[in-house]
Structure 1
Amino acid sequence: MTATTQAPVTAPDSRAPGSTPHTDGAWSVIPVQTRSERPTSFDPEDFGAPTGREVNWKHTPVDRVVALFADEPTEDGDDLAIAYGVDAVADHLVESTGHDAAVRGEHFRPEDLPSAIAWKRCANALHLRLAADEELAEPLNVDLVGRGAERHGNAHIIVEALPNSRGTVVLHHSGSAQYAQNVEIIVRDGAALTVISVQRWDDDAVHAASHQARVDRDATLRHIVVSFGGGVVRVNPSVELAGPGARGELYGLSYADAGQHLESQVYLHHKGPDTTGDVLYKGALQGAGAHSVWIGDVLIGPDAAGTDSYEANRNLVLTEGARADSIPNLEIETGDIRGAGHASATGRFDDEQLFYLQARGIAEDEARRLVVLGFLAEIVQKIGVPSLEEELFVAIEAELAQEAAR
């Protein structure tokens, strides 16, 4: 790869009319209608500052993330906003210096302004690699601790699984910062990789992350987003099932409290034949101003014969004043598939479940607790890391206790 790959790049020639830049640097006011036609560029000037009217920003409180729209050096330097705990993964770190370093940009293409700025301002990447045929006995844990809400930072992280490797990588986010983050994931032939991104930020943190993954022949990616903390957290995973027999499992868990905005825009592209996709995001919300956003886009391309894909989003609204936006979309460009579908549901407690539990002598508060735990447990139990699963159950209990004390 050479430095020339940093020049503005657009989506394939199937771009929609109006997806080319204006001379003023902004994309055309004619909206891109489908997820597959969204333009990309490494140059921040090709993206106008979001106004909240754009299709990919209209559900986001742009006034709360405006600090991530500034394409300028940060006062303290991008590397000082976040403290990276990588000692435990040192054996798997690969040097990645400069924008033209090997692997960087092999698949990743910025799709919005914060992502393009993060690419430009972060000269070096944090690159984790699983060796060919390696099987990890324990997860690789990376701690990312914000050093203060007044600090602004950018990052590019690469997670690469070489052929036939097996392992789990966990990104733990805590503290506070104004943080734009790119995560590039490459799962090579026959590998099985799990990437878990856990957001337990302080209440004043702002985190905008673009996760882009490519899954090659007979490889599997399990990608899990867990968002419990932060003022505004926007983690958008995009997964391309490129090789024959590739599999993508995309799961998400969120618990939005008063004033929190937790968002995920999910894109699953079935590109190769005989690929399989499973998308399930679940969220709970409580408190005034709690807001969650899930947008799920699935594209089954013209060469993706034999595809089997399903996506779903379920939300449980626990109090008045909370809001969940849920938008599934499905594009199919071939008729030769095994199956495809999507579903979305948002509601309050199931009165029948509560009645069933109370009829057996369980108090109402305890019955509500059991319903919430049962609702979210499906995602927690998919994580496959016992210590993290236990941590999340404790966090759910703490959220429920907080609401009960109000």
Structure 2
Amino acid sequence: MASGAVPRPVRSRNPLDHDVPTGREEAWRFTPLRRLRGLLTGPDADGKVSVTVTAPAGIAVEQLDAADPRIGRSYTPADRVAAFALAHAGGATAVTIPAEAAPAEPVVVHLHGESPRPAAGTAAGIAYGHLLVEVGPFASATVVLDHTGSATYAGNVEVYVGHGASLTFVSLQDWDAGAVHVGAHAYSVGRDAKLRSFTVTLGGDLVRLSPTVDYRGPGGDAELNGVFFTDAGQHQEHRLLVTHTPRSCRSRVTYKGALRGDGAHSVWIGDVVIGADAVDTDTYELNRNLVLTDGARADSVPNLEILTGEVVGAGHASATGRFDDEALFYLQSRGIPPAEARRLVVHGFFAEVIDRIEVGDLRDRIMASVSARLGETPAEDEPATAAGTGASAGAAAGAGRAGA
């Protein structure tokens, strides 16, 4: 049984094994190739991206050279840009959480593009990177990857979750205007391990991320959550692939996006493959898009391929809708000013995902950024999180016609 066959990409470390896309391929048909600023040809790096890591005691942070066998252990590039990133990164930043460790504070990897902000029509400096995160068996940790600054950046992220371990991984794309970011995030989930990932995309001119999940044993559990706010002229693309091969694994995908302004374009592709031996699989993927103004476009394509009939559950849902004027009227009729009502609706729409992030400062920063993009600032005595908006936010949580 299948609901949309999922294309099988070429897997190779050699960039020349990957064809130069023309834009007609399924994997590239939504991407504005001219805005990738040469990343498809793998130019030499002429920009700088600094990487700083803040880690609790007991967490190992290393700089690996390109020959280290740990690089690429759980990921082989599936497209030309990722292959060039692996070839040009010159090694990797590695973060290792020891077996059975449970640090109370998150590990924060701050990646900052240091290329001067480009003039209109020019590119920020080209840079490449590779991050490797390894979580030992039965460990529990939170890792935050924070992208800021300006660059034309191609980077890969490998996340290896040991058997019985638990990891929360947050990737925040908070680039300056004009940045370009093409990245692959590969999650390898061990037996009885749990992964919770959060992908938050706010800044940049073009951001294209390709998260993948595979399981190394039964009992693996992966939750992929995402939030994106696509403003005028921005292109934000998230292409997910979850592959169920072992039996008795679970996956949940929830991505929510808001779009505003002329030329705002978001793309969400959700692919799930359930192999012939993956009996007792439980999977569901959901994408909701809230279009705030005319001139914005959201493309949403869920695909589900099932090769066994013995599953616990498998499904998907996708909806894109306009801002709900009735919700605004409901809130304004209760004395809430129009600007505050709009903010409550959008915050409530995002709350289901953002409130799951357990790093309070990060939640506040994300919601404050959303408010800034709406052109509104919360009152100084009001928390920036959606949870802090009280009953009104709860009422607004389902206010968009795209659903909550």
Find the counterpart in structure 2 of residue 48 from structure 1: 19
Q: Please, which of 342, 349, 356 is the counterpart of residue 323 of structure 2? A: 349
Tell me how far apart the structure 2 counterparts of residues 36 and 117 of structure 1 sit (CA, whole Å). Answer: 22
Tell me how far apart the structure 2 counterparts of residues 395 and 176 of structure 1 sit (CA, whole Å). Answer: 17
Find the counterpart in structure 1 of residue 380 from structure 2: none
Which sections of structure 2, spanning at least 5 residues, go unmatched?
Answer: 116-122, 378-404
Which sections of structure 1, spanning at least 5 residues, go unmatched?
Answer: 1-32
Find the counterpart in structure 1 of residue 382 from structure 2: none
Q: Please, which of 33, 37, 45 is the counterpart of residue 66 of structure 1? A: 37
Contact persistence 1:144–1:171 (CA under 8 A)? yes
Find the counterpart in structure 2 of residue 173 from structure 1: 147
List aligned pairs for 1:220-235, cutoff 5 A. 220-235=194-209
**Post-superposition CA distance 1:298-348 (Å, at most 9, x none):** 111111111111000000000111111111000111111110110000001
Q: Please, which of 303, 307, 310 is the counterpart of residue 277 of structure 2? A: 303
Mean alpha-carbon deviation: is it higher for 157-166 or for 344-353? Answer: 344-353
Report the residue type matching 1:137 in the other structure. A
Where 2:208 maps in the other structure, the secondary structure is: strand
Find the counterpart in structure 1 of residue 187 from structure 2: 213
Contact persistence 1:89–1:142 (CA under 8 A)? no
1:186: how far off? 0.6
1:365: how far off? 2.9
Where 1:202 maps in the other structure, the secondary structure is: coil
Q: Number of paired residues?
A: 367
Q: Percent identity at matched positions?
A: 47
Find the counterpart in structure 1 of residue 221 from structure 2: 247
Find the counterpart in structure 1 of residue 400 from structure 2: none
Find the counterpart in structure 2 of residue 12 from structure 1: none
Mean alpha-carbon deviation: is it higher for 98-107 or for 124-133? Answer: 98-107
Q: Please, which of 90, 100, 108 is the counterpart of residue 75 of structure 2? A: 108
**Post-superposition CA distance 1:62-111 (Å, at most 9, x none):** 10003212234324xxxx52011125468534545344423221110101
Where 2:76 maps in the other structure, the secondary structure is: coil
Find the counterpart in structure 2 of residue 277 from structure 1: 251
Tell me how far apart the structure 1 counterparts of residues 335 and 57 of structure 2 sit (CA, whole Å). Answer: 53
1:34: how far off? 4.2
Tell me how far apart the structure 2 counterparts of residues 132 and 222 of structure 1 sit (CA, whole Å). Answer: 18
Between 1 and 2, higher relative CO (CA 8 Å, sep ≥ 6) is seen in 2
Where 2:343 maps in the other structure, the secondary structure is: helix
Tell me how far apart the structure 2 counterparts of residues 204 and 249 of structure 1 sit (CA, whole Å). Answer: 31
Tell me how far apart the structure 2 counterparts of residues 81 and 189 of structure 1 sit (CA, whole Å). Answer: 36
- TM-score, scaled relative to structure 1: 0.87
Contact persistence 1:96–1:102 (CA under 8 A)? no
Find the counterpart in structure 1 of residue 87 from structure 2: 120
Contact persistence 2:261–2:295 (CA under 8 A)? yes
Tell me how far apart the structure 1 counterparts of residues 64 and 91 of structure 2 sit (CA, whole Å). Answer: 5
Find the counterpart in structure 1 of residue 113 from structure 2: 146
Q: Please, which of 83, 96, 104 is the counterpart of residue 137 of structure 1? A: 104
Q: Please, which of 258, 277, 290 is the counterpart of residue 316 of structure 1? A: 290
**Post-superposition CA distance 1:96-142 (Å, at most 9, x none):** 53444232211101011110001111231111111000001011001
Tell me how far apart the structure 2 counterparts of residues 278 and 289 of structure 1 sit (CA, whole Å). Answer: 30
1:36: how far off? 5.4
Where 1:120 maps in the other structure, the secondary structure is: helix
Mean alpha-carbon deviation: is it higher for 363-372 or for 390-399? Answer: 363-372
Find the counterpart in structure 2 of residue 258 from structure 1: 232
